[in-house]
Amino acid sequence: MKTRHLLTVCLFTLACSGIVGRLAYLHVVQRSFLQAQGDSRTVREVKLPAYRGMIKDRNGEALAVSTLVDSVWINPQLIEPADPKLNALANLLKVSADNLRKKVVEYTASNKEFLFVKRHVEPVVAQQALALNLPGVNLTQEYRRYYPNAEVSAHVVGLANVDNQGQEGLELAYNAWLQGNAGKKRIVQDLQGNKVEELGVVADTQHGNDLTLSIDQRLQYLAHRELQNAIDKHQAETGSVVVLDVHTGEVLAMANYPTYNPNKREKNYPANVYRNLAVTDAFEPGSVLKTLSLASVFEHTNITPETTVNTKPGYLRLRGGVVRDLHNNGVLDVASVLRESSNIGITKLVLNLKPKQLLDTYERFGLGWSTNSGFPGETGGKLPAAIDDQPFVMATMSFGYGVSATPLQIAQAYAIIGASGVKYPVSFIKTDYQPEGEQVLDPKVARQVLDMLTYAVGHSKSNARVSGYRVAGKTGTARVAGPDGYLEDKHRTVFAGLAPAINPRLAIVVAVSEPNVGGYYSNQVAAPVFAQVASGALRLYKIAPDIKDTHGVYVAQNGNNDS
């Protein structure tokens, strides 16, 4: 008995020693390994989403904001694919139940523990998802981009995707400035994925920076509305309106049609709808370029506004082709050549130039080059490489064929005329100072051209006139080029102008493509849009009328011309 008792005590002591030794080994030698293993099952690092910077207009109005929303995710390891509650969750979140079930099976087999079911859901729906009491269902907070003005500013502001990455417009151009950097924190979870304890922040969140645009949302609404009205009235295909500040180069408004609602990412818009046509699409602008051609004539020859040109009999044969006017305008002075938009008149004037002189003038006005606005996808249009010994090419170029430009480029060119020949850099960002400009045209020539543009709009039949104000501008109507030449029944109408004509403040360009109802000439389609936008803008900026007969229009005077 004593031997058995002693043996039992020894075995018990040995067993206890083994257990104590094993505990000591696990707690001392294996402590770091075991703690890491435990933490890997219960401790998680979760993102602290960064707030994407706000985009505002020049007056502080929100154009793009980020708001916290819930996203629904599940732990596939805790869910039975056959559970009927999984179907209920799919139906609630309006996702495919079959696809969700397949993903659960796939993620379970891959030992994955995180699967988004639906991101950026309404708070009520998120709570209903939790109320289903399906194991493994969780919510996480993310920031969703929201655009208060929807379609109105879509092409300028652009949009960000579900991961808050800029995809279009200025959201893309300034993505690094706006997006910020997400932070991290550690939490303890239970087996169901519920948060038990917060262990602290690992990395601080760096929120994005705000961005203030040059856009004036009041003027943007006006441009959008008037363009939309013209598109509907004439059943046109596309259109653009650009408004520049003559003295700073800031883009005050830029509207396009067709447009889209950036708040409805799920809507399947055609890819071309996202393009900012005013920046990315160049076209032959037609007679609005006669203004630049005339500037070149004044700059390089002794021709004056009083010089006369014989446009009889309404056509002019040149080597390479025939130039025609709509009517036989007879003998015209230079100002009337512009007013009557005589192709023959401008051709005879331009043929006094050397080809390089005309090309040089166009280039100084910014044609053939990007404005360097920084807008994604901006194009510089095209100029001929050379037009030596090609009088017909030089003639057609003088009235806007064989040259392509965007509405933004045309607006900058007219802004140069309004700024006494100074070219300011185009900017979508608000500037708080007078930017440095480049003198690209003789101020005297700019004034001569401006006076003739004012005379052109002063025509009693002009639909670009603005009650109470003198404005300046030029029409342009061009045929659209097809695969086999210019199409007889498709046109693009353009109006480019300055308001007011005395000390211009705004350069405005309207372009409408392929109007199908109510005429296709610029004076019928584009000029009325210019008049409405200019009229609203002049009153919005409290610029006093300069014509005594204002037809009942009254503008409040307060000495403050805020923009």
- Could you tell me the CATH number of the domain that includes residue 202? 3.90.1310.10
Domain that holds residue 157: 46-69+141-212
User: Within this chain, do residues 467 and 492 fall inside the same structural domain, yes or no?
Assistant: yes
- In this structure, the answer to whether residues 492 and 536 fall within a common structural domain is yes
In a domain, 360, yes or no: yes
Within-domain flag for 13:
no
Lookup result for tokens 């770091």: 32
5 in a domain, yes or no? no
What is the structure's pLDDT at 563? 33
Q: Token digits for 301?
A: 């020859």
For residue 35, the Cα-to-chain-centroid distance in whole angstroms is 52
Instruction: Please state, in angstroms and rounded to a whole number, the distance separating the CA atoms of residues 282 and 293.
Output: 19
Structure tokens at 420: 């006494």
| Among 212, 231, 261, residue at a domain's last position | 212
305 & 162 share domain: no
Maximum separation of any 2 CA atoms in the chain, in Å = 143
pLDDT at 229 over 90: yes
Rounded distance, CA 387 to CA 369, Å? 18
The helix (H) or strand (E) run that includes residue 344 is helix 343-350
Which of the pair, 547 or 400, is modelled with greater confidence? Answer: 400
Residue 528: give its domain's CATH number.
Answer: 3.40.710.10
Q: Give me the number of domains the chain comprises.
A: 2
**What pLDDT was estimated at residue 81?**
86
Measure Cα distances from 68 to 55, 185, 326 in Å: 17, 18, 61
Same domain for 302 and 230, yes or no, is yes
The β-bridge relationship of strands 55-56 and 211-212 is parallel
Among 287, 296, 420, 522, the active-site one is 287
Same domain, 448 and 474: yes
Nearest to 382, CA basis, from 355, 400, 357, 356? 400
Instruction: Decide if 153 is catalytic.
Output: no
| CA dist., res. 348 & res. 358, Å (int) | 13
**Per-residue confidence (pLDDT) for residue 551, from 0 to 100:** 39
Question: Does one domain contain both 390 and 527?
Answer: yes
444-465 pLDDT tens trace: 999 999 999 999 998 888 999 9
Residues 159 and 299 placed together within one structural domain of the fold: no
- Domain identity same for 190 and 301: no
CA angle 350, 355, 356 (to 5 degrees): 125
pLDDT of residue 559: 38
Residue ending a domain, choose from 188, 212, 236:
212
* Least confident piece of the model among 75-89, 226-240, 384-398, 540-554: 540-554
Q: Is the same domain home to 313 and 221?
A: yes
Q: Are residues 156 and 275 in the same domain?
A: no
Range 191-219 average pLDDT: 77
DSSP 448-501: HHHHHHHHHHTSTT-TT-BTTB--EEEEEEEEEEETTEEEEEEEEEEEEEEESS
Amino acid found at 60: G
Which H or E element spans position 291? helix 290-300
